[in-house]
Every structure is written in C-alpha cells, then in structure tokens.
C-alpha cells in the first residue's frame, strides 16, 4: 500500500473497462480553510497523481517500476463542500517506454468535472524481485 494514499483515505472503488474509479472521501484535515468543507487543491492533485499512476500499473501484467515525468492539473471549479472526490482514469497511449494517461475528477453528485489531470509516466521492467 502507498502510505500517502492511505493517509488521504484513497480507495479503488470500481473498474469500468479500461478505466479505474478512485475515491477520496471527505476529511476535515484535508480542508484548505478550516470549516469550509472544501478540500485543498494539493489533496486533489495527489489524488489525480495516484489515480493516474494506478492506471499505468493497470496496463501491465507484471510489476513495473514507474516514474512520473510530468503532470498537469487544471482546476475547473471548487469541489462541492464535504463531498467525496472521485477520479475516473483513461489511458491514452502505451509506447515501449512511456504511458500517457488522463483523468477527470468529480465531486458529490456533480456530473461535470471539477478538475482534470494529464500525465506521462516512464516505465521499466523490474530486473529482480526484492
């Protein structure tokens, strides 16, 4: 398990075809401003980073060592207060050394995304099992 993902309470809630659905339940300690119910951007960025990384792992049958080359997050609007944030991933392309992935983040019952992330990961075979 990933300690920081655990700290944020992230969990894989569903898999829809190629897409992973990863959730971050609301926690008061993730608020940017106390009492607002609005989760800090940093937590949303971390949720997207984690979800996109998981989508990359999901592309392979065997374990690979993956590294994030870059990550861009667009913050469309504030999440709904006190709501769970859900990311749905989409793998765009797998090449012999890289994987291109993107994901949309939704909050509460909202049907339009509150944020979008797109990332490039590099990967390598694990040479030996530790």
Q: Which residues bind another protein (CB under 8 A)?
A: 2-7, 28-34, 39-43, 45-50, 67-75, 130
Residue 18 or 27 with smaller CB distance to another protein: 27
- Kindly state the smallest distance separating residue 45's Cβ from another protein, in Å: 5
- Kindly state the smallest distance separating residue 17's Cβ from another protein, in Å: 25
- Residues of the chain by 3-state class (helix, strand, coil), percent to 5: 20, 45, 35
- Kindly state the smallest distance separating residue 90's Cβ from another protein, in Å: 19
Q: What is the DSSP letter of 61?
A: S
Query: How far is 12 from 33, CA to CA, in rounded Å?
Result: 27
**Regarding beta strands 115-125 and 64-75, do their DSSP bridges make them parallel or antiparallel, or are they unpaired?**
antiparallel
- Kindly state the smallest distance separating residue 36's Cβ from another protein, in Å: 9
Look at residue 6 and give its three-state secondary structure: helix
Which tokens sit at 104?
């949309």
Residue 16 or 84 with smaller CB distance to another protein: 84
Question: If we measure between CA atoms, which residue out of 64, 23, 67, 53 comes closest to residue 117?
Answer: 53
Residue 17 or 35 with smaller CB distance to another protein: 35
Return the bridge partners of 119, or none. Answer: 71, 101
Residue 16 or 62 with smaller CB distance to another protein: 62
């Amino acid at each position: 398990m990933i300690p920081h993902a655990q700290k944020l309470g992230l969990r894989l809630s569903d898999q829809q075809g190629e897409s992973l659905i990863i959730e971050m339940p609301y926690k008061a300690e993730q608020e940017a401003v106390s009492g607002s119910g609005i989760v800090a951007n940093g937590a949303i960025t971390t949720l997207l980073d984690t979800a996109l990384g998981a989508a990359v792992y999901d592309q392979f049958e065997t374990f690979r060592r993956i590294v994030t080359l870059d990550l861009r997050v667009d913050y469309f609007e504030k999440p709904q207060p006190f709501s769970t944030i859900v990311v749905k991933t989409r793998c765009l392309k797998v090449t012999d050394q890289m994987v291109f992935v993107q994901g949309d983040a939704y909050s509460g019952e909202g049907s339009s995304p509150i944020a979008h992330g797109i990332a490039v990961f590099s990967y390598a075979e694990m040479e030996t099992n530790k």
